Amino acid sequence: MDMDDAPTQSRNKLPDHLELQRTRVVCRADAPTHTEGFQYSGAFAAMGVDNSVSVEKFCNDFKIKINRLTDDDMEFDMIGIDASIANAFRRILIAEVPTMAIEKVLMVDNTSVIADEVLSHRLGLIPLDADPRLFDYISDDVPNERNTIVYKLHVSCEKGSQRLTVKSGQLEWLPEGSQLTIAATTQSGDKQKTYTFFGQSQQKTSESPLGVKYEDITIARLGPGQAIELEAHAVKGVGKVHAKWSPVATAWYRMLPEVVLLKEITDGDAEQLVKKCPVNVFDIEELGNGRKRAVVARPRACTLCRECVKVADDKAKKDNAKVAGDKVDEVEPQVELRRVRDHFIFTIESTGALPPEVLFTEAVKILEEKCERVISELS
C-alpha cells in the first residue's frame, strides 16, 4: 500500500502518543514514565519526522524569558534545550564561576573561645563585595594588588564590660596591602618587608571600596578581657576547590509543570480536588444552576506532590466498586501530571559577589570556552 494513500497520521507529524513520549515526562502516582528522551536522529525517519539536532534548529527554538529579577536572585524560563545543557549551567554556576574569598588568615591575637581554625573558616565564608573579573588568580604565592585583597580585624572587649559581638562590618579593607611585617629590618633606612607586595594602592584600580557584602554577619562573641587581632588575605578561586568560592547560595531548575484534566470533575468532587492541592493549582468554575467544575488555574505552581492524582484515583475506584459490587477494577486516571521536557524554570540565588544575571552570563562564557577547547583538541 502506498504511504500517500494510508489513512493514518499525516506525514511529518508524529501520532499523539509518540509526541507525548517525545516532548513530555508523565508523572504517575507511583513513578514517572517516559523519562528517557529519543536521542537518535533517525528515530522517527519512517514517519518523515527529523529528530536530529542542528544549530539552525537550536537558534529557532531556544528562548529565555525572565520572570523575576532582584539584586540577589532571579528566575527565568529556558526553553528549547536539553536537560544536559541546563544541568551544565547549574554545575558551572556552583563550581566554576570564580569569586573572591578569604584564603589566608594571619592570626596575631585570639583569646576568644573560638579556635583559630574555626575562626578562619568563618571568615572564609563571608561574601565579599569585590568583582572577581578585576583580579587575577594568584600564582607562585606572590600576593600583589592584582590578585589579593587584604583586610584587618582588631577588636577587643574591655574588662568589666558586657559581651561584645564581632560583626563582618568590622573587617577593615587595607588598599595599601599588608601591615604586618615579616621580620625586623637590619638597617634603619630600609623599608619593612610585609606579607604582600603591592606596587600601588588598590584605590586607584577600584571604583568602590572592596568591603564585605553584608555587614551584619556574626563572626564571634567576645567576653570581658578577650580580643581578636588578625589580617585576612582574599584571593580568587572557584567553588570546586572550596565552597567558599561558590558565587551562588543555590542554583537549581525544574521542568515546566503541565496539569491536564482527562475527565470533567464536577460539584463535590471538584471542591475536594481544590481543597486537597496544597499550592492551589486548581480552581472552581461556576457552570450555573448550582453546578461547578474544577479547572487548572495555576499549573506552574505544581510541586508534583501527586495529591490530586491520589484524590482522583480514589474517587474513581469508589465509583467502580459501587458499579462492580465492591470489586475494584483498573481505573482510568482523571488527572495527569506532566513535565515539558525542553522547558526549564531556572533559579539563581547569588551570595552577593555578582548580580545573578551577571553570574549566568559568566556561566555562558565558561561553557563557550569549554566547547572551543574541545573543538580545538579535536581539530
- 152 three-class SS: strand
Look at residue 193 and tell me whether its pLDDT is greater than 90. no
The beta-strand segments (E) located in 112-247 are 149-156, 164-167, 172-173, 218-222, 227-237
Q: Across the chain, how many H-helices and E-strands are there?
A: 7, 14
Rounded to whole angstroms, the Cα distance separating 312 from 335 reads: 7
* Mean pLDDT score, 151-158: 96
Rounded to whole angstroms, the Cα distance separating 244 from 103 reads: 9
Q: What is the pLDDT of residues 259-312, one digit of tens each?
A: 999 889 888 889 999 998 999 999 999 988 888 999 999 999 999 898 888 875
| pLDDT (0 to 100) of residue 319 | 60
- 208 three-class SS: coil
* Cell (9 digits) for 90: 547549574
Helices (H), the chain: 16-23, 55-61, 83-95, 116-124, 267-276, 307-323, 356-378
| pLDDT (0 to 100) of residue 208 | 87
Rounded to whole angstroms, the Cα distance separating 245 from 260 reads: 43
CA 359, 361, 365 angle in degrees (round to 5)?
A: 115
From residue 340, give the alpha-carbon distance in Å to each of 35, 173, 204, 346, 352: 11, 49, 51, 14, 32
| pLDDT (0 to 100) of residue 310 | 80
From residue 111, give the alpha-carbon distance in Å to each of 117, 126, 155, 195, 335: 13, 21, 11, 23, 64
Look at residue 146 and tell me whether its pLDDT is greater than 90. yes
| pLDDT (0 to 100) of residue 43 | 81
| pLDDT (0 to 100) of residue 174 | 95
Concatenated DSSP letters of 310-358: HHHHHHHHHHHHHHTTS-------SEEEEEEEEEEEEEEEE-SSS-HHH
The amino acid at 300? R
Residues 251, 349: contact at Cβ < 8 Å? yes
Closest listed residue to residue 157, CA positions, set 145, 165, 149: 165
Q: pLDDT-derived band of residue 113, with 50, 70 and 90 as boundaries?
A: very high
Look at residue 327 and tell me whether its pLDDT is greater than 80. no
Q: pLDDT-derived band of residue 2, with 50, 70 and 90 as boundaries?
A: very low
* Mean pLDDT score, 155-183: 93
Q: What is the pLDDT of residues 207-261, one digit of tens each?
A: 889 999 999 999 999 999 999 999 999 999 999 999 999 999 999 999 999 999 9
* Mean pLDDT score, 5-22: 70
Look at residue 329 and tell me whether its pLDDT is greater than 60. no
* Structural element, H or E, at residue 101: strand 99-110
The amino acid at 68? R
* DSSP state, residue 244: G
Q: pLDDT-derived band of residue 5, with 50, 70 and 90 as boundaries?
A: very low
* Cell (9 digits) for 96: 566554576
Look at residue 326 and tell me whether its pLDDT is greater than 90. no
Other Cβ atoms closer than 10 A to 174: 20
| pLDDT (0 to 100) of residue 324 | 53
Residues 86, 253: contact at Cβ < 8 Å? yes
More confident residue, 205 or 69: 69
Q: For residue 190, with 0-12 CB atoms within 10 Å meaning exposed, 13-18 middle and 19 or more buried, which class applies?
A: exposed
| pLDDT (0 to 100) of residue 44 | 84
Rounded to whole angstroms, the Cα distance separating 283 from 266 reads: 11
Q: pLDDT-derived band of residue 48, with 50, 70 and 90 as boundaries?
A: confident
Q: What is the pLDDT of residues 25-47, one digit of tens each?
A: 999 888 888 888 787 788 888 88
What is the maximum alpha-carbon separation in the chain? 106
Closest listed residue to residue 274, CA positions, set 284, 259, 264, 266: 284
| pLDDT (0 to 100) of residue 1 | 39
Look at residue 79 and tell me whether its pLDDT is greater than 60. yes
Rounded to whole angstroms, the Cα distance separating 178 from 232 reads: 9
| pLDDT (0 to 100) of residue 333 | 80
Look at residue 7 and tell me whether its pLDDT is greater than 50. no
